[in-house]
Every structure is written in C-alpha cells, then in structure tokens.
Structure 1
Amino acid sequence: MTGSRVTRSIVAITAHSGDFVWRAGGALALSAARGDSVRVICLSFGERGESQGLWKRPHMEMDTVKRIRREEAEEAAAALGVDVDFYDLGDYPLVVSEDARERVVAALRDAQPDVLLTHVANDPYNRDHNTAHETALATRMVAQAMGHDRATTPIGATQVLMFEPHQPEVCGFVPNLLLDITPVFDRKRKAMEVMSAQHHLIEYYTELGQRRGVQARRNGASGDVLQAEAYQRVFPLVGAELI
C-alpha cells in the first residue's frame, strides 16, 4: 500500500518488444510510479516485421536484430520503471505454442494481475496483434480455472484493457478510458527515444498523446492534462452507482 492507496498488479501482453513502449508506456510508467507491480510480456522481438530501422543497416543479421531489440526494450522498460520478459516466439507470423501459453498462465498466476493490457481483437494490418489479444484472453481464462495446476493460485476477475492500435478506426477501437499520463510523459518520451528500430514512430505517438490529452480535457479533465492514452475495456466496469 502506498499511503491510503492499495498497490495493484499490472501485466501487459504484447506481440512485439516495442509495442508496450508506443501504446502503453504512459500507463505502465504511471502505475510503476504509484508503487504498483508492473510486468511486460513480449511474445516476440518483432525481429522480422517491426525492425525496419535495423534491417536498413548494411550486413545486418537476425541474431543481431534480436539482440538490439532486446537491449532497446530492456532500456525502455528501465526508463518506465517496469519489468520485462521475452518469450522469443518469432513474428510475422507470431505463433504461440501450447508450451508458451502454459508459460503465460504460470506468469499470470504468479503476478495475480488486477489489470491486463493487450492489443485489440482485430487488427487487419497486423495479425500478430490479434494473436497476442487471443493469447491474453485464453491464458486469463485458464489462469482462472480452479482445476488447473492445483499447486498455484487462480487469478480473479482481471479486467482487460485494449490499448490503442495504429489505425483505430479500421480496428473497431472505441475508447472508453482516457488516461492522464502527463506526470510521466517524460518517461514515455525517454523510452520511445531508445527504440531505434522504429524511430519514425516517436513523432506519431507524441502527437497522439497530445490529441488524446485534448479529448480528455473536452471530457471533463482539468486544464493541466496535456497528454493521455486511450483504452477500451473488454469487460464491464462494476460499480455501486451510475458514473
């Protein structure tokens, strides 16, 4: 507990090693700054399809791309103040084996997350994102099962939040949470600047944060909210009164 606030557990399940930086870096840094336990699971390094900046370099090889992607993601995670695990399952396409799913289930039971962050269900531009989404929901389901691995503790009704895709309109993304990340945007910016393989995305996600900040203010946030991230809940929000 931090002050009067009960600390929480946050887990992000992402397709590629850069996804957590661009799409959820603010939320992760914000939770970490509040004392929450924050763990990122990167199912792949994005070495084939998410590393354009590296493959443009002369004499580049696959092992080198993976190494750089890992190092960059580790440095970005340190900037955000979060832990990161790499599963190295390959990308384009991302294929999650049964053994890998069991590994995710074990990680969820260990972390006991209050919130899972992951991709949208249907991204027609990048089917790896769909695979990561399905992996998050499938492993959440198994991790809840009382009869699975009786030596470990089932998780509860973990909320799942989908972070914003690159083309939200085409992906059917309808945000119902605008999260103020102004206090930690400098951390997100620092983490983004580490990602040399996709350096072209820094300006896009900086501007997106500002646009979502404007929308947050139009929806009742105070005037000092300058940057925000958008999320869509998978499951209903439970409350005792109308909000």
Structure 2
Amino acid sequence: MQVTNKTALVVSAHSADFVWRAGGAIALYAKRGWRVCVTCLSFGERGESAKLWRQPGMTLEHVKQNRRGEAARAAELLGAEAVFFDAGDYPMRATDELLYQLVDLYRTLRPSFVLTHSLQDPYNFDHPLAAHLAQEARIVAQAHGHNPEQAVLGAPPVFLFEPHQPEQCNWKPQVLLGIDEVWEQKRRAFELMAAQEHLWEYYTRVALQRGVQASRNSDQKITYAEGYQRVFPQVTDGLS
C-alpha cells in the first residue's frame, strides 16, 4: 500500500448510496493509502428501507440503527470512515446547522476530491439536495470571511457518481474509473446492505457495462468500472 496524507470526501444522501455508486473509488483510494471519509446525511430510514418496514412491529429508531450499522460495516470493509448526520429522508431538509457541519468537515479534512450525487434526479429529491449541499459547503469553506481564524479550503474537483436512472438525470459518464482490483471488495460491501438486496445485481450489471465502455475508450482490459461526471473543468498541463 502506498502511504500518503491525501484525503477524499464522499457526500452520500442515504446510508447505502455510497456503496452502490462509489464503493470502488472508495476502496481503490483507501488501498492507495488515502484517508477516505464518507458522510451519510441520512440513514434512508423512510424511503429506502422497505424490506425492514415489512417486518411486524418495526419502529423508526430500529430502522435507523439497522441502516447505520450496515453503512458503518460497509465503509469499514471499503477502508473508509463513516460520519452520520441523521438529517432525515423522504423528505430531507437542509438546515444551516447541517451546512455548517459539512463546511467544518471540509476544512478539517481538506479533501483532494469530492464525490457526490447527480445535480438532477426526478425520482429522488434527496439526491440533488445532497449534491447541492456538498457544493454549497465547498463554496462556504473557500470563503475567507467564514470563521476567518481557520485556513480556507482550496478547490477540490467534484465528481458526480452515477444515478439509478442516468438518462432521466441529465448525467453523462465523463470519467470511467477501472475498479477491477477492488471489485470483490465492493461486491462484499453490497452484500452488507441487506435492506436493499434487490440492488445487488443491478449495480453489478452497471459496473460491468461501465467496464465495457472503459475498455472501449482505452487500451486497457477492464471488466468493472464506475462512471463519474465532472462539475468543474479539469486543470492540466498536458492532454496525453
């Protein structure tokens, strides 16, 4: 493992989103020695826990505890640390307190890049809200007048991971990340998310599809990949 002091931040609306959509990137960078922090704004306790709610006598608190445990174990398996905000879901509502907590995390962690949701999602309003929060917090963390005794944040690039129905979310896979070396790790993390077992095979197929596209767009043999869309231009000193 390459040892580094670099960090990455993942802003996930619900407790399982980061596993399906960015688990490969998380595991890959953790394997390289990066500190990877996953923030779960909510536990997905209302809208994404149907399997639990079908059980007799289920309570909101028990669902939260269950989903928190799943997410914490998945993050650990992927090599990341998990931070939970319990902001609620269906609906999720952004408060100034939540925003400033995220700003503090940016300034503490000082990520080299950020992963979050697509900017649009007509099927799940919590997802673009999480993306908005991630980017607003980034901007506030860059402001010299916000807690001026602290060092301001630089300009970490923001990558939007793949939504469940990308065609409906105006999302395009501009970056294809090969994850073959950590695929089995990501798949095991899938299987920790028992409340959403119906998504295990779906996101396996997504990874295979992006792998085909990654091979097609490179000279590499790639089986599994993740897709990302950039928010800001890539700054580089060369095009090859």
Aligned partner of residue 12 in structure 1, secondary structure: strand
1:2 maps to 2
Aligned partner of residue 226 in structure 2, secondary structure: strand
| Alignment partner of 2:235 out of 220, 235, 238 | 238
| Alignment partner of 1:84 out of 69, 72, 82 | 82
What are the equivalent positions in structure 2 for 1:4-23 lying under 5 Å apart? 7-23=5-21
> Which amino acid is 2:229 matched to?
Q
CA distances 1:61-119 after superposition (whole Å, capped 9, x unpaired): 10100000000001101110100000001001111210111100000000001101000
2:173 maps to 175
| Alignment partner of 1:227 out of 224, 229, 238 | 224
Q: Distance in 2 between matches of 1:63 and 1:218?
A: 47
1:52 maps to 50
Structure 2 unmatched ranges of 5 or more: none
Q: Distance in 1 between matches of 2:236 and 2:189?
A: 35
Q: CA RMSD in A?
A: 1.2
Q: CA deviation at 1:176?
A: 0.9
More moved, 71-80 vs 142-151: 142-151
TM-score normalised over the length of structure 1 = 0.96
Aligned partner of residue 115 in structure 2, secondary structure: strand
> Which amino acid is 2:72 matched to?
E
Q: CA deviation at 1:7?
A: 4.6
Q: Distance in 2 between matches of 1:137 and 1:221?
A: 34
CA distances 1:27-81 after superposition (whole Å, capped 9, x unpaired): 0010100001100111000100011111111211101000000000011011101
Aligned partner of residue 89 in structure 1, secondary structure: coil
Q: Distance in 1 between matches of 2:219 and 2:153?
A: 33
4+ residue runs of structure 1 moved beyond 3 angstroms?
none
> Which amino acid is 1:150 matched to?
P
> Which amino acid is 1:238 matched to?
V
Conservation of the 8 A alpha-carbon contact between 1:7 and 1:34: no
What are the equivalent positions in structure 2 for 1:1-243 lying under 5 Å apart? 2=2, 7-223=5-221, 225-243=222-240
